[in-house]
A = this chain, B = another copy of it.
């Protein structure tokens, strides 16, 4: 079984290579009767698109999405939604160099060993190009979450290499700032520093890692399917499936290793939870508090500094990645992380309804007092 589908009840399936004629996808299971148009998806696609600032690759992709089915008279019909984005900037070039050698840190080697061959044009299926379809499908998920349950998903950059940036809830962080700079950074005071860092990095020819935080607000308690498809387990699956992600944590995450039980457990009062170390999930089920997840993105291996490698015959070689690449893939990862979190949440909302639509909880949800 291949793995190009995500979700059980709200299922996105994708296809497409970096330099083929188009990428596309199908969203199956979307509830009917929700207002939807291509414009709803375009905003996030534009946020993800490269070439929006000097800090991302200068490759131009219009990323104009077409909805080919499943919407009629302005609303979803319950039929599968076909999505298509033409690849426009397929610069014709000579791929012979990377066709026969493996770029270190890339999927060239592992794809070739798995399938016996690979589409080497621009990385083929392993290119981050496919994330545009995640973002388009995630846009549909966001519409559903908003209409069915007033759930909102939002992300931001919280670390760029050595620079620790303010996290949501921390001093100096404002959600309103996130969309006002090309880094999705919530700390206005830090933007100049980020620009300087990236300018220096770009000159060096090297790349850097990043950390993105993504949260969801307005969740009802009850989402998540223990024991294996816990909400946090599916979030980890979703975020770790994004190109370049090497780590995922929920709530206090790795910091909980050094916490004591008295410190970590989120106490409850009739007025709400007093903290949110859990990140909104207990026993794999949402508590109604904000979902908080963080992901670590590695520095891209597409750099122009030479690296040691081997070729298809196994002989030693050296590889320099030419072309236009992001020096920090984490910068554009925020809308992708939001999309994946939204896909998990809508999937679990529908899964929850399947088994539990008839349940009336014994208690009204309690609020969060966490900052």
Contacts and interface: CB of A to CB of B under 8 A. Distances in A.
Interface in A303-348: 303, 305, 307-310, 312-316, 330
Given A102-B268, A247-B248, A270-B310, 17 more contacts: A3-B28, A3-B230, A4-B79, A6-B228, A17-B69, A105-B282, A114-B222, A114-B359, A114-B361, A233-B241, A236-B240, A236-B248, A247-B247, A247-B256, A256-B296, A268-B309, A312-B362
Contact of A253 (B17, B31, B247): B247
A351 B354 contact: yes
Nearest to A221: B113
| Size bin of chain A's contact surface | 35 or more
A32 B116 contact: yes
A16 B227 CA distance: 11
A140 interface: no
Interface string A284-315: 11111000000011111111010111101111
Interface string A45-65: 000000000000000000000
Specify how many copies of this chain sit in the oligomer: 4
B305 A148 contact: no
Nearest to A273: B104
A84 interface: yes
A240 to B, nearest CB: 4
Nearest to A267: B308
Interface string A8-21: 11010111110011
Nearest to A33: B116
A360 B353 CA distance: 16
A353 to B, nearest CB: 5
Interface in A206-236: 206-211, 220-230, 232-236
A228 B5 contact: yes
B28 A363 contact: no
A352 interface: yes
B259 A365 contact: no
